[in-house]
């Protein structure tokens, strides 16, 4: 990178931080901070969803999948299209109708309305801890990008990715502490447009010229890299199981539903997000990963695309694209930190220790302190993961296994009870964690199927949820289960 790239990068980051400061000064309470005043246009929300869901982590992870698998890796983001459109049809109409009357701020608020406070507290803990994993994944993505581009050396003799991780953590947590959901969403819009334009209009053409054209790409890669069917069925199933359900339990997504003005605009935002995930970003990411394999065949798969960006693009353009990548990572990370912060502050602290504080500036101060603590915890988690994709998928697995079935029950099964929801959450998430950590092992004949532990966690959660609901029926509460199922 040249000096002009570093200058562009610095100016871009300063501008993003400036947007955060601008909106921070206009946030009056926790509702402004976490749900953007419930008055954000669907185009901004839709692009923000893509930036949050795909962001830097999946962008770099997707490049790594394209490096290893080729075009078949695009199915990873097909799950985003399916999840976005299913939730637009099945979840948003019910959720937005309730939100009009109850002004929810978090995902556990919805479960509290359907079940009770015990379920909401457990959901807040699971969601908050899960989003720590999301944040760790994004910080690791930023560290890998930085170590391959602007932070290739350091004066402290530290391992390069570790040094980059610390730098990215400081910048990300600072931006998150001073910003709110409006700052995140509006900057996401600009960042995502800049990133896609830089990749599609500049990076791909320049790279193809560098390697000698599309014919040279075909000659250099295995034929399987140009097939959409060169993927194991179990891999596709695992991606669907771990990613599609997150669209029904993701706190960042519930915040954006609440931020939309009405049901129609919320659904429009989700349709926009699905199309940007697949096919636009899906094929862009894997194709660049394929190109990176030709230019840097010996590179680590997830670092090949950042290396491509830093060494192939002309001066000036490199700074813009790298800055866009960093800002996408930062936006995803701050969305994840805000989600965890919302769980811990709105669903725990404001409920049990600081009642009423969410309606004033004091609530903002508490949120900022919690955000800082979450950021520090995310850094500690990030050093435990070896790849960005592993970090994201493990965080997804933890959340999905415990929360998906009770959420479906809240939407569609009248007989679902609070006790059943507690059993399903605790049992599903615990089993998945035990399987992932290899503390317990599946029988050899089942393990040989190669299915993700999340599937077994979801099945176990479903069993416990149904059994617990039938054995311990829900006590009737006004405005609870019936109002949701009839909406």
| 84 contact partners, CB below 8 Å, separation of at least 6 | 49, 247, 270, 271, 273, 274, 277
Out of 140-149, 198-207, 297-306, 474-483, least confident range: 474-483
Whole-angstrom distance, CA of residue 472 vs CA of residue 339: 31
pLDDT value of position 59: 65
What DSSP letter does each residue of 181-203 carry, written as one string?
Answer: HHHHHHHHHHHHHHHHHIIIIII
- State the pLDDT at residue 58: 62
At 390 the pLDDT is: 63
**Is the pLDDT at 318 greater than 80, yes or no?**
no
pLDDT band for position 156 (cuts 50, 70, 90): low
- Integer Rg of the chain from CA: 22
Q: By percentage, how much of the chain surpasses pLDDT 70?
A: 89
Q: Of residues 257 and 168, which shows the higher confidence score?
A: 257
pLDDT at 153: 66
- Given a contact cutoff of 8 angstroms between Cβ atoms, the answer to whether 338 and 107 are in contact is no
- Report yes or no: 358 and 350 within 8 Å, Cβ to Cβ: yes
Q: What is the mean predicted confidence (pLDDT) over 171-196?
A: 78
**Highest mean pLDDT: which of 1-5, 330-334, 445-449?**
445-449
What's residue 63's pLDDT?
A: 86
Query: Closest by alpha carbon to 180, among 376, 5, 297, 24?
Result: 24
Q: What is the average per-residue pLDDT within 91-97? A: 95
pTM (two decimals): 0.86
Mean pLDDT over 56-74 rounds to 84
pLDDT at residue 385 greater than cutoff 70 = no
Q: Which two tokens stand for residue 196?
A: 């896609």
Q: What is the pLDDT of residues 395-430, one digit of tens each?
A: 677 788 999 999 999 999 999 999 999 999 999 989
Report residue 367 as tokens. 């949120």
- Rounded to whole angstroms, the Cα distance separating 462 from 473 reads 16
What long-range pairs does 453-456 form, CB within 8 A, spacing at least 24?
Answer: 453/397, 453/401, 454/238, 454/241, 454/242, 454/396, 454/397, 454/400, 454/401, 455/237, 455/238, 455/241, 456/431, 456/432
- Arithmetic mean of pLDDT over the chain: 85
pLDDT digits (tens, 9 = 90+) for 190-209: 778 877 888 888 889 989 99
- Largest interatomic CA distance in the chain: 69
pLDDT(482) > 60: no
pLDDT at 56: 59
Q: What are phi and psi of 260, to 5 degrees?
A: -75, 150
Compute the average pLDDT of residues 456-473: 96
Amino acid 309: pLDDT: 76
SS3 213: coil
Q: Does the pLDDT of residue 143 top 60, yes or no?
A: yes
Taking 60 as the threshold, does the pLDDT of residue 268 lie above it?
Answer: yes
* Residue-level pLDDT at 242: 84
What's the pLDDT tens digit per position in 67-85? 999 999 999 999 999 999 9
Which residue would you say has higher pLDDT here, 188 or 277? Answer: 277
Q: Is the pLDDT of residue 388 over 60?
A: no
> Which structure tokens are listed for 5?
């790239």
Sequence-distant (6+) residues with CB within 8 A of 312 are: 203, 206, 207, 210, 295
Q: How far apart are CA 318 and CA 144, in angstroms?
A: 16
- Determine the pLDDT at residue 176: 73
What is the CA 274 to chain-centroid distance, rounded? 14
* Confidence at residue 151, expressed as pLDDT on a 0 to 100 scale: 65
Are 411 and 94 contacting, i.e. CB atoms less than 8 angstroms apart?
yes
Q: What is the predicted pLDDT for the residue at 235?
A: 93
314 vs 145 pLDDT, higher one: 314
Structure letter (DSSP) for residue 40: B
The phi and psi torsions of 40 (rounded to 5 degrees) equal -115, 140
User: What is the reported pLDDT for 155?
Assistant: 63
> Under a CB-based contact definition with an 8 Å cutoff, are residues 49 and 328 in contact?
no
pLDDT exceeds 80 at position 435: yes
d(Cα 460, Cα 481) in Å, to the nearest integer?
23
What is the spatial distance between Cα 108 and Cα 410, in angstroms, rounded to a whole number? Answer: 12
* Cβ-based neighbours of 300, under 8 Å, separated by 6 or more: 64
What residues form DSSP beta bridges with 260? Answer: 40
Is residue 107's pLDDT more than 90?
A: yes
User: Rounded to an integer, what distance in angstroms lies between the CA atom of residue 444 and that of residue 455?
Assistant: 16
Domains of the chain (ranges; CATH) run 3-389 (1.20.1730.10)
Q: What is residue 449's DSSP assignment?
A: T
Q: Tell me what the mean pLDDT of segment 169-189 comes to.
A: 78
Percent of the chain with pLDDT over 90: 44
Residue with tokens 């997707």: 62
**Chain segment 6-22, per-residue pLDDT in tens:** 787 778 778 777 877 77
Q: What is the pLDDT of residues 117-137, one digit of tens each?
A: 999 999 998 898 888 877 887
Distances in Å between the Cα of 70 and the Cα atoms of 161, 167, 218, 280, 412 are: 26, 32, 11, 15, 39
Q: How far apart are CA 126 and CA 246, in angstroms?
A: 13
The residue assigned the tokens 């002309």 is: 314
pLDDT at 161 (0 to 100) = 73
């Amino acid at each position: 990178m040249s000096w002009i790239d570093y200058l562009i990068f610095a100016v871009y980051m300063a501008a993003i931080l400036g947007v955060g400061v601008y909106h921070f000064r206009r946030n009056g309470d926790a509702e402004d901070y976490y749900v953007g005043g419930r008055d954000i246009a669907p185009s901004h929300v839709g692009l923000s969803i893509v930036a949050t869901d795909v962001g830097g982590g999946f962008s770099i992870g997707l490049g790594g999948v394209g490096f290893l698998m080729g075009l078949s890796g695009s199915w990873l983001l097909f799950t985003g299209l399916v999840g976005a459109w299913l939730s637009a049809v099945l979840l948003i109409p019910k959720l937005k109708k309730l939100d009009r009357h109850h002004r929810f701020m978090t995902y556990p608020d919805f479960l509290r309305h359907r079940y009770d406070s015990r379920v909401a507290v457990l959901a807040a803990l699971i969601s908050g801890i899960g989003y720590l994993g999301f944040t760790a994944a994004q910080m690791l993505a930023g560290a890998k990008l930085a170590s391959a581009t602007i932070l290739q050396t350091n004066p402290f003799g530290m391992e390069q990715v570790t040094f980059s991780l610390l730098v990215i953590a400081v910048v990300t947590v600072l931006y998150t502490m001073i910003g709110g959901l409006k700052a995140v969403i509006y900057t996401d819009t600009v960042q995502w447009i800049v990133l896609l334009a830089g990749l599609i209009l500049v990076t791909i053409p320049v790279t193809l010229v560098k390697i000698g054209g599309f014919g040279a790409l075909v000659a250099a890669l295995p034929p399987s890299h140009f097939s959409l069917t060169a993927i194991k069925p179990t891999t596709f199933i695992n991606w669907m199981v771990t990613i599609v359900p997150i669209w029904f339990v993701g706190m960042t997504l519930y915040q954006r539903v609440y931020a939309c003005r009405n049901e129609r605009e919320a659904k429009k935002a989700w349709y926009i997000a699905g199309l940007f995930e697949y096919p636009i970003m899906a094929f862009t990411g894997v194709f660049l990963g394929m190109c990176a394999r030709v230019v840097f065949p010996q590179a680590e798969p997830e670092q090949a695309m950042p290396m491509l960006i830093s060494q192939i693009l002309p001066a000036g353009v490199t700074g813009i694209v790298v800055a866009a990548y960093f800002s996408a990572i930062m936006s995803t990370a701050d969305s994840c930190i805000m989600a965890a912060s919302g769980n811990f502050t709105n669903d725990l602290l404001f409920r049990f220790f600081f009642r009423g504080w969410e309606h004033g500036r004091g609530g903002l101060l508490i949120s900022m302190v919690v955000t800082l603590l979450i950021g520090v915890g995310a850094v500690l988690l990030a050093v435990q993961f070896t790849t960005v994709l592993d970090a994201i998928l493990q965080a997804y697995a933890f959340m999905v296994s415990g929360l998906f079935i009770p959420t479906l029950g809240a939407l569609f099964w009248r007989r679902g009870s609070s006790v059943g929801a507690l059993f399903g959450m605790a049992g599903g998430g615990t089993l998945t964690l035990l399987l992932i950590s290899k503390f317990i092992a599946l029988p050899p004949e089942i393990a040989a199927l190669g299915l993700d532990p999340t599937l077994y966690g979801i099945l176990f959660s479903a069993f416990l949820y149904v059994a617990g609901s039938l054995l311990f029926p829900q006590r009737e509460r006004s405005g609870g289960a019936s109002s949701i199922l009839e909406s």
